[in-house]
Amino acid sequence: MTAEIERGNSGEILNKLPLFFKGSVITGFGRGSKQLGIPTANLPVEELEEELKDIPIGVYYGWANVIGLEDNKVFPMAMSIGWNPFYKNTKKTIEIHLINKFERDFYGAELRGIGLGFIRPMCDFKSLEELVKAINDDIDYAKSSLEKEENKAFLNNIYFTQ
């Protein structure tokens, strides 16, 4: 892993976005909150094969909500789609980090999301500290990108309420 990660959209990926997806939150590997301090909501990949078939693995940003949580409020998110090389995963995962502090878990609830932009490809890291720093940088990149008017336009998309 190099010290500098190039972040930003590639034209090829932009043509495949926005990505609309939804699914019931399932139990993941249990590393997000416990090991990384960055909780994630995991979705079942099997149910999203059609939506994801043309989406390259990597880290994305967008908006997401959880039906029945905080009046269905929509939150910024950073999302990983793929195999986490640091943990040597053999199973593809979809892990969404809602950029908000929640007081409880929401396993079984429906999460709806709209992926709007590509942050970076999957990459390996030499240490847990490097991984955590990269994820926090991804979150900062997501927040900054979602401030753009073209991305704010999706915040009130009907998809989150229908």
Per DSSP (E only), the strands in the chain are 19-24, 41-43, 58-66, 74-82, 93-98, 110-120
Share the mean pLDDT of the chain: 84
Q: How confident is the model at residue 83 (pLDDT cuts 50, 70, 90)?
A: confident
**Percent of all residues in the chain with a pLDDT value above 70, rounded to a whole number:** 80
- Name the more confident of 124 and 61: 61
Overall average pLDDT of the 126-148 stretch = 91
Residue 2: pLDDT over 90? no
Q: How confident is the model at residue 159 (pLDDT cuts 50, 70, 90)?
A: very high
Overall average pLDDT of the 57-85 stretch = 91
Q: What is the pLDDT of residue 34?
A: 53
- Name the more confident of 46 and 154: 154
Residue 32: pLDDT over 80? no
Residues with catalytic function: 95
Q: Distance between CA 76 and CA 152 in Å, rounded? A: 10
Eight-state DSSP code of residue 87: G
Q: Which residue has the tokens 């034209």?
A: 11
CA angle, 145 then 83 then 9, to 5°: 25
